[in-house]
Structure 1
Amino acid sequence: MLWRSFDPLSRTVLQTTVGTSVDLLLGRLEKLHGRILVCHAFGYLTLGGS
């Protein structure tokens, strides 16, 4: 779920680890843009950073 800084604490749900937060983010991106695009985009970002 997306939340804003001014939402009440009862609506603010954070993941317990960084890994689960990243998984949730990537899953949301895959739903919006498709798995292939997300995989290729992050692959290019990884290659470009080396």
Structure 2
Amino acid sequence: MGILETLITIFIGLFLIGLVLSLTIWLMWLFLILAIILLVVKTVRRFIKKFNYK
């Protein structure tokens, strides 16, 4: 009984750790994509302003 309970708790703990890690990695990718989109938008706006002034 004791061995089974410890195995179940270890399995649940590992599963939760994996879930948290995957979520953090997913959030990091999401922030990276948002940052790239913002940079692209800023550069496009700069180019539009340059072309409008000419």
TM-score category, normalised to shorter length: 0.3 to 0.5
TM-score by length of 1: 0.34
Larger Rg, first or second structure (1 or 2): 2
TM-score, with length taken from structure 2: 0.32
The structure, 1 or 2, with the larger RCO (C-alpha pairs under 8 Å, 6+ apart) is 1
